[in-house]
Structure 1
Amino acid sequence: MVTKNLSRLLWRRYRQRFWALLGISVLAGIAVALLDAETWVRHSPVLFADQINHWVVYQTSKFGSVSVYSYWLVFVAWLSGMLLMMQDLKENFNQFLFASGYKRQRIYWTKLGMALAGLLVIDVVTAVVQYLTYWIKLPQGTSFNLALPGFLTTWVSGLILALVMFAIGWFAALIVGQSGPLVITVCGFTLSLVGMVTFFEGVTLHMTTITVEWLAVGSWLLAAVILLVWGSFLFNRLSLEHNGEYLMFPRLRVPLYLVFVGYMTFIFSVNANDLQPALITFIISAIFGYGWLWRPQLIEKWHQRRGD
């Protein structure tokens, strides 16, 4: 009964956001399908390549692009994770739930379950509309070769990638208490992460393509689970005392600082042939990270003046 009442309360709060996300996602799915249709070879008898018959992530073919699982859905998951957690903190909805007597762990997992279920519904509805658009735009004499191996593999890979992007935004919004720095932090980290993935894809490994793909999927899934479980641990210790500060959890300053300096140094020196770029990047990152995490920011001073 307690879980049911909490679910109803959360649904009343989130339903308008889910409906808005669904509407935007469906429109974007139609746009993606129309753009893909412009790349199709009109005289091709079969739209999909033979790759769709294998247990690998479907990319594209010489006959034209088909988004089996659109990257737009990954973006929706990334954005949703950040917005849902951020708005609950900014609008003191979590404080209301805490005061209502619900256990924090129940709140966290119920909220997370509803968010993931809502995103799954958005994915399915958007994909159905997108596939219908493909079918309507299908040229005369062309047929689909939508085999299950490539379809299922692509969807599993896409859902796990969307999950880890959701987890990044969700976790960051839990620990960062300022909207502007949160957006900058998440965007910067996500873009750098995409660059790192591209770099590692270019590294020659003594593995088959299928092995590399499944290794990447497993790594994404592990990262998502770690962030979501860690988020549960932090949510149970969430204090409104640090609301409005960059970090909601002061004890994370040191590990976050070390990760930031090490990560930035690695990014800007991974392709370097000498130690000078790494040393320069390390010094700049160390100074910037120290000022960002330990010194009062202008926005914090502004909040303090408004409070006075």
Structure 2
Amino acid sequence: MDRSLNKLLVHHYKKIMIALALIISGIYLVQTVSDITSWKSNYNYFTSEKSKEHFEKQIKESYSFDDQEQGKVFLYFDLNKEETVYTDSFEEYKNYNLTVFNPNEDANQLAFNSYPFYNEHFLQFLIIFVLSGILLFLLDLKSNFNALLFTSKYKRSTIYWNKYYLIGGTLSLSLFISKIISLLAYRFFIPNTFLNISLKQHIISSFSGWFTLVSLFILCSFLGLIIGNWLFGLAATLTILFTFQSFLSNIDYIVQTFFLNEKDLASKVSTNMLSTVLPLRQVTTQPFNALPLLILIFLSAVVLFLGQFIFESITLENSGNFIIIPKLKRIIQIVIIIYGTITFASGTFLLTFFPNEKIEYTGMVINSFKIGLILLALYLLTDFILFNKKPKIIEKILF
């Protein structure tokens, strides 16, 4: 690492690095303290005579209802079995309410009883890591800091890696330390009997989330590296965030249609659908599915090293374009069209040409027309954004 370059970058990024470290550690500190304090308060209540008296009162009141659950208290609703669970045991009632990492998918659980298996506070950190990744290179491109660095004595490859060391290192190290402190706090201040999660599960849970967020940061930084236009760049990022779940759902639909038979559909898809195994969705202490995480890590490793070669070939005169590397434009266009087609047209395509039930000819024509319009719209939109080509029809209307 070049010391003089490192001093320059630290001076430039110092406020950003401090802000990121404080935000990440602050989120963990507030949430961890809040969760433990809340559990302690609950523990004091459920081990008091007042709680037992309240439980016995509920038992007595249950006899006023003419149903088979007389003499029992509502515990939770089991979403898996779709049945309500009752109990007449105060110990069971107390232990359930004091269990922190509760395996029951219960719509009535308190917030600290709903534990995401991959990591904690994912949504907040997703926003932080995605924005930090996109702005890592895009911000300097617009602030002319890159122009200063490019005309300096420093190698571009050195500049590229030093940026990752400072900003990426601040993000990943702050998150890593915060997760360790949070994990230790849970295990030190709450008895293991009420945690309901082994140390191994807890470590896998927390640090698979760490790998996920760091990988997303690298992938988003690659986007920020090749994007040169703020308006189109942020619009594209928001579009991906809001449509990604639909994209995953349609991938599931394609897998079900072409790769799974009816016998496997019920047993395999229910546990392996992409929309449930990815870190955004998987919850509770269910078995860990490593494949999506390994794919995410592999992709981030590829773009991390690919990014160095792209950074070395950036020319600042293209910085106002959506994609600042001209050679990548056609590839990006194909990727956008494929992504858009899967997201917006694959469901209609499969229902039309691979239907479970016979479809009328009129419906096939209408659906085919819809698919054609979507493909045409994606092509014209990408042509305009990437190559600045206005469709002739629009030119005639405007001029």
- TM-score of the superposition, structure 2-length normalised? 0.62
Paired residues of 1:82 and 1:172 also in contact (CA < 8 A):
yes
Q: Secondary structure of the residue that 2:329 maps to in structure 1?
A: helix
Moved more, 184-193 or 29-38: 29-38
Select the residue among 337, 342, 357 that pairs with 1:266.
Answer: 342
Matched, 1:111 2:163: yes
Q: Which amino acid aligns with 2:233?
A: L
Equivalence for 2:379: 286
Give unpaired runs (5+ residues) of structure 2.
43-93, 257-264, 273-285, 353-366, 391-399
Task: Note the C-alpha offset of 1:32.
Answer: 4.7
Equivalence for 1:55: none
Larger Rg: 2
Select the residue among 218, 221, 235 that pairs with 1:184.
Answer: 235
Q: Give 1:1-308 correspondences, 5 Å limit.
A: 3-29=2-28, 32-33=31-32, 42=42, 43=94, 44-49=97-102, 64-66=113-115, 68-71=119-122, 72-127=124-179, 143-145=194-196, 147-197=198-248, 204=265, 206=268, 213-272=289-348, 273-274=351-352, 276=368, 277-295=370-388
Paired residues of 1:45 and 1:141 also in contact (CA < 8 A):
no
Task: Note the C-alpha offset of 1:130.
Answer: 5.5
Paired residues of 2:247 and 2:339 also in contact (CA < 8 A):
no
Moved more, 68-77 or 26-35: 26-35
Question: Residues 80-103 of structure 1: CA distance to partner in whole angstroms, max 9, x if unpaired?
Answer: 111221211111212222222111
Q: Which amino acid aligns with 1:65?
A: S
Paired residues of 2:247 and 2:342 also in contact (CA < 8 A):
no
Q: Which amino acid aligns with 1:290?
A: D
Equivalence for 1:56: none
Paired residues of 2:129 and 2:216 also in contact (CA < 8 A):
yes
Paired residues of 1:238 and 1:248 also in contact (CA < 8 A):
yes
Task: Note the C-alpha offset of 1:33.
Answer: 4.9
State the superposition RMSD in angstroms. 3.8
Q: Separation in 2 of the partners of 1:279 and 1:259? A: 18
Q: Secondary structure of the residue that 2:342 maps to in structure 1?
A: helix
Q: Which amino acid aligns with 1:247?
A: I
Q: Separation in 2 of the partners of 1:248 and 1:227? A: 16
Q: Separation in 2 of the partners of 1:91 and 1:130? A: 37
- TM-score of the superposition, structure 1-length normalised? 0.78
Paired residues of 2:20 and 2:170 also in contact (CA < 8 A):
no
Paired residues of 2:28 and 2:182 also in contact (CA < 8 A):
yes
Q: Which amino acid aligns with 2:319?
A: N
Q: Separation in 1 of the partners of 2:189 and 2:252? A: 34
Moved more, 180-189 or 268-277: 268-277
**1:6/1:198 CA distance change after superposition, 3 Å:** farther
Q: Secondary structure of the residue that 1:248 maps to in structure 2?
A: coil
**1:107/1:26 CA distance change after superposition, 3 Å:** same
Task: Note the C-alpha offset of 1:295.
Answer: 1.7
Give unpaired runs (5+ residues) of structure 1.
52-59, 298-308
Q: Separation in 2 of the partners of 1:211 and 1:267? A: 29
Q: Which has the higher contact order (CA 8 A, sep 6+)?
A: 1
Q: Which amino acid aligns with 1:245?
A: N
Q: Secondary structure of the residue that 1:9 maps to in structure 2?
A: helix
Task: Note the C-alpha offset of 1:149.
Answer: 1.6
Q: Which amino acid aligns with 1:151?
A: H
